[in-house]
Structure 1
Amino acid sequence: MENNKGFKHIYMIFAVSMGAIATCIIRNIPLFYGFFIGVFFSVIVFMRNGFSFIALMKMILKGVKECFSVYIIVLLMGSIIAVWIASGTVPTMIYYGFDYIVHMNYLLACFMIMVMISFAMGTAFGTISTIGIALLGIGKGLSIPEPILLGTIISGAFIADKISPISALVNLTMNTTDIKYKDFFKHMLVTLIPTLIISSTIYYILGRNFTGEVDLLTLREYQRNIFNTFTISLALLLFPIIMILLAVIGVKVIPNMTFSLLGGIVIGIFFQKIEIHEMIHAILFGYRSRTGIEALDGILRGGGIVPMIEVIFIIIGAVALNSVFEGTNTIAPMIDKMASKIKTKGALIARTCILSIALTTVTCDQTVGILLPGKFLKRKYKEFKMKKITLARSIADAGTTIAPLIPWNVNAIIITVITGVGATEYGPYAVLCYISPLVTILFGYLFTNRESKEKLVNE
């Protein structure tokens, strides 16, 4: 395509796709319809501009096949949530959690717990769907509003995608920018430490508003009904500990989640005395507790494969749209045009962050927000005599972290399906997710003069 005409078609596709997705959100229509409309429209546009239907279908099928492991993870996630509640693992964590957090600043504690565990597990979703669900249940029992709780949990969980050595996205970022983890980790601390300090301070201040609202009688009643409904034992806490240890020693996400699922099934059947058909029903449709307290039953429910099927269709739609953009080399000319106007180092870091965020927003997936800036801005960083690690850090601090704040992003959709809380509700409280790119951009403008004196890495 000729440049100006090509850009016009790109903007048309973006406008139609975003319009269709926004309509689905506003009208409460399943979101995958919006993505499929975007895919259909993009195929028509590119066919009219010289691409064959068969070539476009090959692009789409290639992208959809490459994400097969993501579909498995989503289904495992739905199953694990149901099984961990049914097996008594989540109820046990909530039961004992009520004893220890009554006099704590719960939001700050919740944030720090999620930061440490997500770093160890290497997966934001895996942490949210296991430990996060338990922390959410404890917090709801303390009468803390669910959007605030969830925003706190998400802030801590997305440390995994930002800096964990076993995170798939971290490794993708390093591979794309050709750097090693040791260098990446040290460089990330420059912006991560102030981001954590700012986020922790905000959660400490927010948390002070809720420490005096704990109804001890209600908590004891919750504990009594949990104890009467489930077999509660400290031994059940070994299960999530083992899962975390497996992640730390390098066990991949799918095998680790499979172990968690199978272990939970065994515990549920033999320890909680759940009938096999009841366990199958919980895995398929989600677990629903019957403690006798409606508010507590609202905490101890969720998961299931069937609710996740819609998420898989959404992912397929997002991946298909991405595949068309990548296969037709649609976005690269826009990046080149944008990069040609950059004049300073601070502006380069800011543009990297904005580009990564924009690509994550438009394509509904963090992968594109990593790959394209990582590939196409390397030359610009070299031109300005800046380290490739700075490029990697800017991407990790921006497009990777911002994903759960975008209502139509795959991350936000899965979180909403798991918890029932939308991105527009929890977004204002997911502090780290928007503090992170702001700190990086500010750092870029204030401190990049020092980088001009440093030598290039890996030339």
Structure 2
Amino acid sequence: MSKKTRLPNIAEVSIVLIGFILIMYLFIGVLSLPIQLALFVSWFLVIFLGLKLGHTYRDMQKGLLNGINQGMEAVLVLTTVGALIGTWIAGGIVPSIIYYGLSIINPSIFLFATFVICAVTSLATGTSFGTAGTAGIAMMGIGHSFGIPLPLVAGAVISGAYVGDKLSPLSDTTVMTASLSKVDLVEHIRSMLFVSTPAFVGASILYLLVGFLYIDRSPSLSQAEDAMSSLAKYFHIEWYMLIPAITVILMLSLKKPSIPTITFGALLGAIWAYLFQDMTLLEAIKTSYNGYSIESGVDFIDNLLNRGGIAWMFEVIILIIFALGLGGLMEQVGILKVICNNMLSWANNAGKLTLSTLLAGFFGNFFGGAAYVSLITASKITEENYERLKIDKRVLSRNTEAGGTVTTPMVPWSDGGVYMATVLGVSTLSYLPFLWFNFLVVIISIIYGFTGKFIWYTNNSEIKKPETDQSTIRV
């Protein structure tokens, strides 16, 4: 026997969303409790609303599991990246990158170089997580040695990492967005270039200008020299330490699947630790799970290199699972549908439509906790309005990336926000002001929407009107 359910009204949706924000503030800002608990308690808000709307516990469990399933690839990538970081530090790969970086990069252009290096790496590999976990960690170490504030370095790392996450044909979010928006992948990337190119140039100029401010008061290079000396003392530094990193980048560039490729990279790191860093094979393999541990007495070395391993990622994985589950619950009880309905009547021009897509993407990250969720909310909530206003789907796909992909590291409990804060050792709110590429992408997208620049229209014969929504559905 089917049971009648209904969609929540806007007042009920508002109460749940306000309740979520209050829970997050109370748990994190007042009680200093783990963010995982805040997300877990938030499940009950949505469950109570679902029961009021007529949903069964079984239906809501199904929605919860569907939400988690949407982000399982990210969870597996996190697991393998944790293993890779552990073995790459033990194998001397990350220390060697830091060592050579310190020897060739000038402090005044360091932020610009960090942004460009991470952008090139992410474009070649298609992964922001992999970029931050390899090149990003190295840049954090070099920046620390130059005395540059770590939140600023993290901002440059993450900005560069999301250039490729947004643009690379190897990126899962790029491919997924093109698919959800029903746009050819190449056309999707070409469309994004109109936004990403000026954003990249603008961010580069900003990082250069800020870098040059350090010329008059840059720290003595003796600090960098001391760091190089310490690295050389504890690790065998040679050019062939970079072979695992080059191998992984080449494999990802050849479109090899990310999870087995990163796993293979972790194996290479363990082999390098055994062959060149005087570790037993068993000790080297253990670093893939427990991470690398060192007590050198040098704060720089200890703070930077005591990390990695699958176990290091456990809290991050739990947080992401809770966030994904919350997003699945909200979709199951119809919260996303109600928001979609209200956006349909409001977004009646290109500017408002662009803004609504960006907000829908951010909403997916804020309440769904993952880039995958944000891409679904941004594309599916606003898709009908693009058809109704005869705006080309390339604009939809471009705005979906701007609202979904690049806002992911801005949310402290999203998969991207948690991962970046954990791997780089800088809190989300600390690095947030320095995500200049990400902010420029959003700002330029809004400017294009309200000015009509690079907004393309289709040749459909008539404009569709929004459909009247049913207040009651059957399941």
Same fold (TM over 0.5): yes
Contact kept in structure 1, 2:98 and 2:138, CA below 8 Å: yes
Following the alignment from structure 2 to structure 1, what is the Cα–Cα distance between the partners of residues 374 and 69? 20
Give the equivalent residue in structure 2 for 1:81. Answer: 85
Following the alignment from structure 2 to structure 1, what is the Cα–Cα distance between the partners of residues 77 and 42? 25
Letter aligned with residue 92 of structure 1: S
Following the alignment from structure 1 to structure 2, what is the Cα–Cα distance between the partners of residues 55 and 446? 44
Question: Is 1:225 matched with 2:230?
Answer: yes
Q: 1:12 to 1:276 in 2, by over 3 A?
A: farther
Question: Is 1:18 matched with 2:50?
Answer: no
Give the equivalent residue in structure 2 for 1:403. Answer: 408
Give the equivalent residue in structure 2 for 1:162. Answer: 166
Deviations 1:394-447 (A, max 9, x none): 111122101111222221112222232111111111111211111100011123
Match of 1:102 among 97, 103, 106: 106
Q: Secondary structure at the match of 1:443?
A: helix
Following the alignment from structure 2 to structure 1, what is the Cα–Cα distance between the partners of residues 49 and 356? 28
TM-score by length of 2: 0.91
1:412-427 superposed matches below 5 A: 412-427=417-432
Following the alignment from structure 1 to structure 2, what is the Cα–Cα distance between the partners of residues 2 and 48? 9
Following the alignment from structure 2 to structure 1, what is the Cα–Cα distance between the partners of residues 70 and 432? 30
Give the equivalent residue in structure 1 for 2:95. Answer: 91
Letter aligned with residue 102 of structure 2: F
1:206-355 superposed matches below 5 A: 206-212=210-216, 213-355=218-360
Letter aligned with residue 14 of structure 2: Y
Deviations 1:190-211 (A, max 9, x none): 1111111111111111111234
Deviations 1:90-136 (A, max 9, x none): 11111111110136510001101111110111111111001111111
Give the equivalent residue in structure 2 for 1:434. Answer: 439
Question: Is 1:143 matched with 2:136?
Answer: no
Question: Is 1:393 matched with 2:398?
Answer: yes
Give the equivalent residue in structure 2 for 1:41. Answer: 45
Deviations 1:312-361 (A, max 9, x none): 11111111111112223321222122221223222211222222222322
Q: Secondary structure at the match of 2:452?
A: helix
- Which deviates the most, 284-293 or 112-121? 284-293
Q: 1:337 to 1:44 in 2, by over 3 A?
A: same
Q: 1:444 to 1:220 in 2, by over 3 A?
A: same
Contact kept in structure 2, 1:397 and 1:437, CA below 8 Å: yes
Q: 1:429 to 1:66 in 2, by over 3 A?
A: closer
Following the alignment from structure 1 to structure 2, what is the Cα–Cα distance between the partners of residues 443 and 69? 33
Give the equivalent residue in structure 1 for 2:464. Answer: none
Q: Secondary structure at the match of 1:288?
A: coil
Letter aligned with residue 128 of structure 2: A
Deviations 1:167-222 (A, max 9, x none): 11111111111111111111111111111111111111111123451422222222
Say how many residue pairs are matched.
456
TM-score by length of 1: 0.94
Contact kept in structure 2, 1:21 and 1:408, CA below 8 Å: no
Shift of 1:285: 3.4
Following the alignment from structure 1 to structure 2, what is the Cα–Cα distance between the partners of residues 105 and 117? 18
Shift of 1:70: 2.6
Contact kept in structure 1, 2:64 and 2:328, CA below 8 Å: yes
Contact kept in structure 2, 1:137 and 1:300, CA below 8 Å: no
Match of 1:445 among 431, 446, 450: 450
Shift of 1:449: 8.2
Following the alignment from structure 1 to structure 2, what is the Cα–Cα distance between the partners of residues 86 and 371? 39
Following the alignment from structure 2 to structure 1, what is the Cα–Cα distance between the partners of residues 286 and 338? 50
Contact kept in structure 1, 2:346 and 2:352, CA below 8 Å: no
Following the alignment from structure 1 to structure 2, what is the Cα–Cα distance between the partners of residues 24 and 126? 31
Question: Is 1:128 matched with 2:132?
Answer: yes
Following the alignment from structure 1 to structure 2, what is the Cα–Cα distance between the partners of residues 16 and 305? 34
Shift of 1:141: 0.9
Give the equivalent residue in structure 1 for 2:68. Answer: 64
Contact kept in structure 1, 2:115 and 2:156, CA below 8 Å: yes
Give the equivalent residue in structure 1 for 2:363. Answer: 358
Q: Secondary structure at the match of 1:287?
A: coil
Q: Secondary structure at the match of 1:73?
A: helix
Letter aligned with residue 426 of structure 2: V
- Which deviates the most, 52-61 or 140-149? 52-61
Contact kept in structure 2, 1:231 and 1:271, CA below 8 Å: yes
Following the alignment from structure 2 to structure 1, what is the Cα–Cα distance between the partners of residues 341 and 107? 55
Give the equivalent residue in structure 1 for 2:115. Answer: 111
Letter aligned with residue 304 of structure 1: G
Following the alignment from structure 2 to structure 1, what is the Cα–Cα distance between the partners of residues 122 and 439? 18
The percent identity for this pair of structures is 26
Shift of 1:381: 1.1
Contact kept in structure 1, 2:330 and 2:336, CA below 8 Å: yes
Following the alignment from structure 1 to structure 2, what is the Cα–Cα distance between the partners of residues 6 and 301? 50
Q: Secondary structure at the match of 1:188?
A: helix
Shift of 1:383: 2.0
Contact kept in structure 2, 1:366 and 1:399, CA below 8 Å: yes
Q: Secondary structure at the match of 2:456?
A: helix
Deviations 1:71-97 (A, max 9, x none): 222122222112111110011111111
